Amino acid sequence: MPFILQERVSLKSFNTFGVEAQARWFAQVAGAADLQRLLDDSRVRDLPRLILGGGSNVLFAGDFNGLVVRICPRGIDDLGQIDGARLIRVAAGEPWAELVEHLVRSGRPGLENLALIPGLTGAAPIQNIGAYGLEVAERLHAVHAWDPVSGMVQDIPADQCDLGYRDSRFKRQIRAATVLGPQTLPVVLAVTLRLPQPWRPVTGYAELERELAARACPRPAAADIFDVVCSLRRRKLPDPAQLGNAGSFFKNPVVSREQHASLIERFPSIVSYPLAGGRYKIGAAWMIEACELRGVTRARAGVYEGQALVLVNRGGSTGADILDLACEVQERVQMRFGIQLEPEVQIIGDSGRLLSS
């Protein structure tokens, strides 16, 4: 179906915070040809541009005075077994959570730890989604992205995506673009996933391990892990359909061995996890709680009582309310711990500028 370019469209139902914001122009496209035709249109050619998936990792601080392009091609192709893995090519518009369930239920395990993460598949490599001991980096074979400079679709092997903790070359490029203008940001149209064969469960994550033990499940099948991850997530995280949110608002900061030692000295119960190379990940939720911010409400924005890393829209909140609260959290944590929390969520400014992240 050809795209329809619409003017002044509400983005409320296109972001999981459920905040009101208007796009100056809006279109949904299903492939490279549509995308090229859309971006050649003189009404939008020179405007700031935002590529949108499920809107579960963005905060609109205000209206977007540019073009919002929602990427929604569909399709799942099983490419068979190649070099000790099953390769699955998935179009960018496939909802990630449905994909994971479909693959587990149809006997193609490997993504079960990443169950129930909202959003579309095209966004999975953007911030290298991860949960319960697995990151998509460990299951990504290649990204198929449309390059606006050449107008061609490029196959980018996973090892050229620079995937790190909630980061990738794509996210770094987005961050570097101060204006989301007619620029060089690639648009992910599909990804190829690599499901290792034979399958081996990934159960090292402490909370997952505990829950499997509690269910007397010492040798879990992929479906067991899927079920446990779903029930843990439902217990911990608010459902955006009930309470607007974008999952973890901040990343867990990573500090040096020296910084870690000094933090432990001052705050003996601080939560931290050792990483390779002598660095440490610090529990951002613990620091936010220590600042007595868990459960607070400012205007109609709040810090979720069940998990302090999650900011929520308690109903009728604006993007600016949520942003103000995020700034307060950052300031309080900075004052007490000397650590700058970095947003995981992409914050989109009112005149098409990317504010931070």
Q: Min. distance of Cβ 142 from ligand FAD in angstroms?
A: 14
Interacting positions 197-236 with ligand FAD (CB under 6 A):
none
Q: Min. distance of Cβ 316 from ligand FAD in angstroms?
A: 18
Is 248 one of the annotated active-site residues of the chain?
yes
Is 344 one of the annotated active-site residues of the chain?
yes
Binding residue for ligand FAD (CB under 6 A) from 22, 28, 113, 127? 127
With CA atoms as reference, report the closest residue to 46 among 178, 179, 187, 146.
179
Q: Does 11 bind ligand FAD (CB under 6 A)?
A: no
Q: Does 56 bind ligand FAD (CB under 6 A)?
A: yes
Q: Min. distance of Cβ 171 from ligand FAD in angstroms?
A: 7
Tokens 């990573």 belong to residue? 254
Pairing of strands 6-10, 49-52: unpaired
HSE, CB side, 13 Å, CA atoms: give it for residue 85: 14
Return the structure tokens found at 277: 């190379």
Binding residue for ligand FAD (CB under 6 A) from 51, 156, 222, 291? 51
Binding residue for ligand FAD (CB under 6 A) from 44, 76, 126, 287? 126
End-to-end Cα distance, the chain: 34
The region that residue 186 occupies, defined by phi over 0 for left and psi between -120 and 50 for alpha, beta otherwise, is: beta
Chain centroid to CA 325: 20
- The residue annotated as part of the active site, out of 70, 166, 194, 353, is 166
- The residue annotated as part of the active site, out of 56, 168, 248, 272, is 248
Return the structure tokens found at 308: 């302090």
Binding span for ligand FAD by CB under 6 A among 5-13, 121-129, 218-226, 252-260: 121-129
Return the structure tokens found at 244: 């607007």
Is 168 one of the annotated active-site residues of the chain?
no
* C-beta of 167 vs 321, nearer to ligand FAD: 167
Q: Does 53 bind ligand FAD (CB under 6 A)?
A: yes
Q: Min. distance of Cβ 135 from ligand FAD in angstroms?
A: 8
Q: In what order do the strands lie in the sheet with 254-255?
A: 254-255, 280-282, 272-274
Q: Does 317 bind ligand FAD (CB under 6 A)?
A: no
Interacting positions 75-94 with ligand FAD (CB under 6 A):
92
Q: Min. distance of Cβ 349 from ligand FAD in angstroms?
A: 13
Is the peptide bond preceding residue 198 cis, with omega within 30 degrees of 0?
A: yes
HSE, CB side, 13 Å, CA atoms: give it for residue 267: 15
Chain centroid to CA 318: 21
| Beta-carbon contacts of residue 21 (< 8 Å; ≥ 6 apart) | 10, 11, 12, 15, 60, 62, 63, 64, 319
Binding span for ligand FAD by CB under 6 A among 119-127, 150-158, 219-227, 264-272: 119-127
Q: Does 302 bind ligand FAD (CB under 6 A)?
A: no
Angle between helices 96-105 and 222-236 (to 10 degrees): 150
* C-beta of 263 vs 302, nearer to ligand FAD: 302
Helix residue ranges per DSSP H, the chain? 32-40, 96-105, 169-176, 206-214, 222-236, 257-266, 284-290, 319-337
Binding residue for ligand FAD (CB under 6 A) from 18, 73, 118, 133? 118
Binding span for ligand FAD by CB under 6 A among 3-11, 56-64, 155-163, 197-205: 56-64
Rounded distance between C-alpha atoms, residue 16 and residue 38, angstroms: 26
For ligand FAD, the binding residues (CB under 6 A) are 16, 50-58, 71, 92, 117-120, 122-124, 126-127, 129-131, 174, 187-188, 237, 240, 245-247, 346
Active site members = 166, 248, 344
